[in-house]
Every structure is written in C-alpha cells, then in structure tokens.
C-alpha cells in the first residue's frame, strides 16, 4: 500500500523480478533503528532539499526521521515540505526493511496536507514494529474509514534529487515530478499513450492515481544522462505491495 512505487520503477523501464527475490532475502526483518536514521541532521536536511530546485526547497519546511517518526528540523515559509523517504514508504516490497534507502521528496502544500499524511502514518506504524502486511492492512482501513483524506486538488511533489538511493530494486531514480489524484481516470491526461510523456498508474484499493512526468534534469540543473526510459503501453497495471 506504499503508493505503488514499484509500479513507477516498472513503467520507467527498470529491471525488477531478478533483483526482488535477492533483496527480499537480504532484508527479512527490521534492522536496528539506528541504521535507518541519519546521524548528521544537517546532511539529512540537505538531502531532503535536493528533491526540488533550490528556488523552491530553500524556503521549504524540512522534516527528518527520528526514532518515533518524522520531526520538523527546519521551518518553511512557502508551503512545501521536504523529507527523505525510507524503504517502508518509498521503495519496493523487497526493500521494505532495507536500511540504506534514502529517497528525497519535496511536496507542495496540497500534498503535505494529504499525501504526506500517508507517509507519516506508514512510518509511525513501521517504527512501532508493524510488518509489511500489518502496515498495508492498517493503511487500507484508514483510507476506508476516511481517517486519511483523499488527495487535495493540486497535490504534487518533486523527486529530482541526484544523490538519493531507492533500494536494491531501483537504486537510482530518474528525475521526475509526481501528481496525486483520488479516483481519477488516467485518460483525462492522455497518459500512457504512444508519444505522451505522461505516465500514470491507478490503484483502486488506495483510491489513488499517480501521474509521473520525467524532467530530464536534476534539481541542480544538470542533465540526466541515464539511459532512455521505456515508455509504458496504454494498459499499465499497478504492481503494488500486497495487502
């Protein structure tokens, strides 16, 4: 239930199946909590801000991970919130417990009021000892009971950080933007059609549709020189975490 991140990996053309089994074996349970934390708070702030261009991230709030969840480490004034996602919220199932995962994300105000709440709840449940199955079940129930709100209009995030690590399944993501909608038909954006730069994945269980647009440049302005990404067919199915 972690926002179909693995679907993003697949539609952008990364290999998955061969690595997933090895990664699952490598991280069968939670590591000591200190391995998920960054000892240098300033380094975590810098990495979180790298998700978006400096013109945006310099005035963003930054939250850093502590033993019981995310805490505000730098106040913001433009409504954006930047964090460094860990494996349980920002990687494939096989990397759920991978302590090396560090994914910089910078959300606008609308996403901070909706999408970030899901990341926060997942993180709190995981740090409290929840397994992948338990976390998925709890998130599904919270959405069904409307304890977690639907996506607010305009919710989006920047994921343009060059230095992040997405896990063994997808170590290095290409720079991209993500737009979040609840129960939206991807066809209204012309997503997943030949020639369209827009990738979309819908998940009916989360009532969530993500539109992904590669940016071709990192947040520091340099060009993404990784191999061209494979565009999905017109019938992309979410490969998601099992409930």
Q: Tell me the whole-structure pTM to 2 decimals.
A: 0.86
Q: Would residue 45 count as lying in a domain?
A: yes
Q: Would residue 243 count as lying in a domain?
A: no
Pairing of strands 61-66, 81-85: parallel
Per-residue buried b or exposed e for 27-59, using 16+ beta carbons within 10 Å of the residue's own CB: beebeeeeebebeebeebbbbbbbbbbeebbee
The position carrying tokens 């992309």 is 236
Q: Would residue 234 count as lying in a domain?
A: no
Q: Would residue 68 count as lying in a domain?
A: yes
**Angle at the Cα of 124 from the Cα atoms of 123 and 129, rounded to 5 degrees:** 95
CA 70 – CA 118 distance, rounded (Å): 12
The predicted structure's pLDDT at residue 181: 96
Q: Would residue 10 count as lying in a domain?
A: yes
Q: At what angle do helices 132-144 and 115-127 cross, to 10 degrees?
A: 140
- Structural domain boundaries enclosing 86: 5-214
By C-alpha distance, which of 198, 228, 175 is closest to 13? 228
The predicted structure's pLDDT at residue 206: 78
Q: Would residue 107 count as lying in a domain?
A: yes
Helix ranges restricted to H, 1-58: 5-11, 17-26, 41-49, 54-57
CA 93 – CA 95 distance, rounded (Å): 5
Number of domains in the chain: 1
Q: Would residue 240 count as lying in a domain?
A: no
Q: Would residue 154 count as lying in a domain?
A: yes
pLDDT in tens, the chain (243 residues): 444 454 455 445 444 555 555 655 688 899 999 999 999 999 999 999 999 999 999 999 999 999 999 999 999 999 999 999 999 999 888 899 999 999 999 999 999 999 999 999 999 999 999 999 999 899 999 999 999 999 999 999 999 999 999 998 888 888 999 999 998 999 999 999 999 999 998 877 778 899 999 998 999 999 998 765 544 433 333 333 332
Which token pair is 209? 């549709």
The predicted structure's pLDDT at residue 207: 86
The position carrying tokens 């009021």 is 113
CA 128 – CA 85 distance, rounded (Å): 17
């Amino acid at each position: 239930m972690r926002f179909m991140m693995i679907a993003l990996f697949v539609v952008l053309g990364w290999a998955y199946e061969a690595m997933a089994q090895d990664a699952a074996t490598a991280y069968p349970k939670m590591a000591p909590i200190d391995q998920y934390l960054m000892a240098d708070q300033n380094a975590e702030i810098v990495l979180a801000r790298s998700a978006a261009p400096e013109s945006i991230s310099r005035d963003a709030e930054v939250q850093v991970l502590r033993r019981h969840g995310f805490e505000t480490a730098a106040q913001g004034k433009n409504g954006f919130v930047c964090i460094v996602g860990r494996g349980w919220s920002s990687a494939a199932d096989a990397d759920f417990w991978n302590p090396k995962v560090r994914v910089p994300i910078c959300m606008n105000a609308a996403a901070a009021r909706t999408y970030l709440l899901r990341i926060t709840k997942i993180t709190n449940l995981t740090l409290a000892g929840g397994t992948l199955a338990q976390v998925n079940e709890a998130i599904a129930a919270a959405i069904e009971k409307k304890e977690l709100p639907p996506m607010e209009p305009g919710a989006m995030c920047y994921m343009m950080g060059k230095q992040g690590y997405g896990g063994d399944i997808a170590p290095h993501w290409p720079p991209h933007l993500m737009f979040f909608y609840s129960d939206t038909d991807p066809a209204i954006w012309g997503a997943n059609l030949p020639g369209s730069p827009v990738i979309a994945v819908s998940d009916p269980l989360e009532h969530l549709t993500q539109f992904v647009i590669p940016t071709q440049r990192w947040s520091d302005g340099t060009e993404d020189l990784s191999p061209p990404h494979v565009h999905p067919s017109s019938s992309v199915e979410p490969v998601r975490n099992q409930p």
